[in-house]
């Protein structure tokens, strides 16, 4: 079950970049994200109400859902989208892949979980592999004030994503399932995005064509309803640090799709980077060897 959820998350998030590119145009980014999570929330609430699976959430749970919504379905996306205006998307992917390391550290700080050496090593290998995969894009970008600002926003977005992971893990420990908490979190995130648009004077326009509407539906239902539910379920089952290795793998899926869609060509450094990413994946999910108990010495 865990493997199926893991592969589902990687494949879905590895293809959402196509839909994201189709969203770029006349509609403001903040408005597009608001539409995405408002629709995703509506779908989740409808499914849960019709199936009788909507859980009751107390005031404490609602407060956590609110903060989780701001972290996972609002502010982090604003950070990543804004950062992408100033730094290459490859650099954003490399920074985002540090979520594996941040989740391991945060799980230690907030939940007193032991940091597994293989998870840290695997995360570091994956990060290095992604850097090699996107090296041509990174090397061709000149450093500037905007570059530093973009890097800072990408780091903040990654930290917000990690914080949302911790909050989801906390909710699951309290017995609340990701379907319910995501429904509320996406609703709160969409409301905050609407507020941001209203305060900033961003128009709520929409493109009534198959390209925009189709990409919106893909991002809202497979990309958000299915993708985030599968991923946060993994956070509860496998731990935040292992689940976050998805952030390393889905850029690899995106690059493989780019071979057919955009004519991307694999190079020797990129192939070595892919090898490091796969090796990191093996390390992250390697189970530690059980230590055999030492039998007490017999008394003569």
pLDDT value at residue 282: 85
**In whole angstroms, what separates CA 145 from the centre of its chain?**
27
pLDDT value at residue 209: 93
pLDDT value at residue 75: 95
The two tokens of residue 254 are: 């995106």
Cβ contact 165:240 at 8 Å: yes
Domain membership of residue 296 (yes or no) is no
279 phi and psi, to 5 degrees? -65, -40
- Residue 278: partners with Cβ closer than 8 Å, 6 or more residues away: 129
The DSSP string of the chain is -HHHHHHHHHHHHHHHHHHHHHH-SSS-HHHHHHHHHHHHHHHHHHHHHHHT-PPP--HHHHHHHHHHHHIIIIIHHHHHHHHTTTS-HHHHHHHHTTHHHHHHHHHHHHH-----HHHHHHHHHHHHHHHHHTHHHHHTSPP-HHHHHHHHHHHHHHHHHHHHHHHHHHHHHTT--HHHHHHHHHHHHHHHHHHHHHHHT-------SHHHHHHHHHHHIIIIIIHHHHHHHHHHHH-HHHHTTHHHHHHHHHHHHHHHHT-----HHHHHHHHHHHHHHHHHTPPPPPPPPPPPPPP-
pLDDT at 26 exceeding the cut of 70: yes
pLDDT value at residue 123: 87
Cβ contact 177:57 at 8 Å: no
Structurally, the chain folds into a number of domains equal to 1
**Which tens digits make up the pLDDT trace of 146-193?**
888 988 999 999 999 999 999 999 999 999 999 999 999 999 999 999
Domain membership of residue 293 (yes or no) is no
Name the band, by pLDDT with cuts 50, 70 and 90, for residue 297.
Answer: very low
pLDDT value at residue 167: 96
Domain membership of residue 216 (yes or no) is yes
218 phi and psi, to 5 degrees? -65, -45
Domain membership of residue 294 (yes or no) is no
Which of 246, 276, 247, 227 lies closest to 93, judged by CA?
Answer: 247
Domain membership of residue 300 (yes or no) is no
Mean pLDDT of the chain, nearest integer: 88
Which of 225, 229, 227, 113 lies closest to 168, judged by CA?
Answer: 229
The residue segments making up the domain with residue 145 are 2-284
Q: Which range in 107-116, 141-150, 200-209, 247-256 is most confidently predicted, on average pLDDT?
A: 200-209
Which of 159, 23, 151, 13 lies closest to 83, judged by CA?
Answer: 151
**In whole angstroms, what separates CA 127 from the centre of its chain?**
15
Average pLDDT over residues 227-253: 90
The two tokens of residue 127 are: 């990060």
pLDDT at 262 exceeding the cut of 80: no
Domain membership of residue 270 (yes or no) is yes
**Which tens digits make up the pLDDT trace of 42-83?**
999 999 999 999 999 999 999 999 999 999 999 999 999 888
Q: Quote the pTM value.
A: 0.87
Domain membership of residue 36 (yes or no) is yes
- Residue 36's alpha-carbon distances to 5, 40, 114, 212, in angstroms, are 22, 6, 36, 11
Domain membership of residue 26 (yes or no) is yes
Cβ contact 65:57 at 8 Å: yes
Name the band, by pLDDT with cuts 50, 70 and 90, for residue 287.
Answer: low
């Amino acid at each position: 079950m865990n493997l199926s959820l893991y592969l589902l998350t990687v494949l879905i998030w590895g293809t959402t970049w196509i839909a994201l590119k189709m969203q770029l145009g006349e509609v403001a980014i903040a408005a597009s994200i608001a539409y995405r999570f408002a629709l995703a929330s509506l779908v989740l609430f409808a499914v849960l109400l019709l199936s009788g699976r909507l859980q009751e959430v107390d005031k404490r749970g609602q407060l956590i859902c609110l903060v989780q919504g701001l972290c996972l379905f609002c502010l982090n996306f604003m950070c990543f989208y804004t950062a992408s205006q100033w730094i290459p998307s490859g650099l954003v992917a490399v920074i985002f892949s540090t979520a594996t390391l941040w989740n391991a550290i945060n799980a230690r700080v907030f939940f007193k979980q032991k940091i597994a050496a293989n998870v840290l090593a695997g995360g570091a290998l994956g990060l290095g592999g992604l850097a090699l995969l996107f090296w041509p894009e990174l090397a061709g970008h000149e450093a500037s004030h905007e570059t530093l600002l973009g890097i800072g926003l990408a780091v903040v977005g990654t930290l917000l994503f990690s914080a949302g992971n911790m909050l989801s893990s906390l909710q699951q420990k309290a017995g609340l399932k990701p379907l319910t908490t995501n429904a509320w979190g996406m609703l709160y995130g969409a409301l905050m995005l609407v507020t941001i648009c209203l305060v900033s004077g961003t128009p709520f326009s929409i493109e009534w064509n198959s390209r925009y509407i189709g990409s919106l539906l893909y991002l809202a239902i497979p990309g958000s309803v299915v993708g985030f539910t599968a991923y946060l379920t993994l956070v509860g089952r496998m731990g935040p640090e292992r689940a976050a290795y998805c952030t390393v793998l889905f850029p690899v899926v995106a690059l493989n799709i780019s071979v057919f869609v955009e004519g991307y060509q694999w190079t020797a450094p990129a192939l070595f980077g892919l090898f490091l990413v796969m090796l990191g994946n093996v390390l992250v999910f390697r189970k530690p060897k059980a230590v055999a108990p030492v039998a007490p010495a017999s008394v003569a």
